[in-house]
A and B are shown apart, each in its own frame.
Chain A
Amino acid sequence: GIQVEQSPPDLILQEGANSTLRCNFSDSVNNLQWFHQNPWGQLINLFYIPSGTKQNGRLSATTVATERYSLLYISSSQTTDSGVYFCAVNTGNQFYFGTGTSLTVIP
């Protein structure tokens, strides 16, 4: 299967700071998604982004499929951004997840 690596594994930010999370994958993919798992365990869809750049409020994502990586940008972080961020890639019928970046935003 495809290997998916996320970095950094852990991140602590002061409220208001910006951050960049990275997702590298080992082979060509059909799809890439970013998820946020909140402290209650719920998985929330952030972006469906097989290529290009998308923005949603303070969050944006860029995928460079030819170089096999994606970046998630969080600007002006808030305490509600805390949780774990996962990227997942799809090839054929299966999806492969990275091990996540655990983000803690301190007031």
Chain B
Amino acid sequence: DAGITQSPRHKVTETGTPVTLRCHQTENHRYMYWYRQDPGHGLRLIHYSYGVKDTDKGEVSDGYSVSRSKTEDFLLTLESATSSQTSVYFCAIRDRTYNEQFFGPGTRLTVL
């Protein structure tokens, strides 16, 4: 258990509304990641962070923004949710010592 929690775990929202997902870790890891998982695509990287206020884009970053004001929290924001953003969202940390990723429990988001 890498001490990663995600909130909320489930959310249903309507097209056009803003949504923020939270990832919280308790072990002071520098690197944090947001992925989305869709059938037939595996997990795809949205954004990642390599420190407080240091973030970068992944392969599917359009329509998403992130923020990291504290080491323990990494927020993913959908400014105006669309139905194509219906997905399961996973947060992960990277253990710097072993270069190994560990995942949170996921958030299932449905955009109607």
Contacts and interface: CB of A to CB of B under 8 A. Distances in A.
Interface of A: 1, 4, 30-31, 33, 35, 41-43, 45, 48, 86, 88, 90, 93-100
A43 B37 CA distance: 11
Contacts of B35: 97
The interface size bin for chain B is 20 to 34
Given A1-B59, A41-B106, A43-B90, A97 B42 contact: yes
B31 A93 contact: yes
Contacts of A31: 99-100
Given A93-B50, A94-B48, A100 B100 contact: no
Contacts of A1: 59
A93 B43 CA distance: 16
A11 to B, nearest CB: 16
A43 to B, nearest CB: 4
A35 B106 CA distance: 15
Given A41-B88, A95-B33, A48 B42 contact: no
Nearest to A45: B102
Contact of B45 (A35, A48, A94, A100): A94
B88 to A, nearest CB: 7
A33 B41 CA distance: 17
Contact of A48 (B33, B100, B103, B106): B100
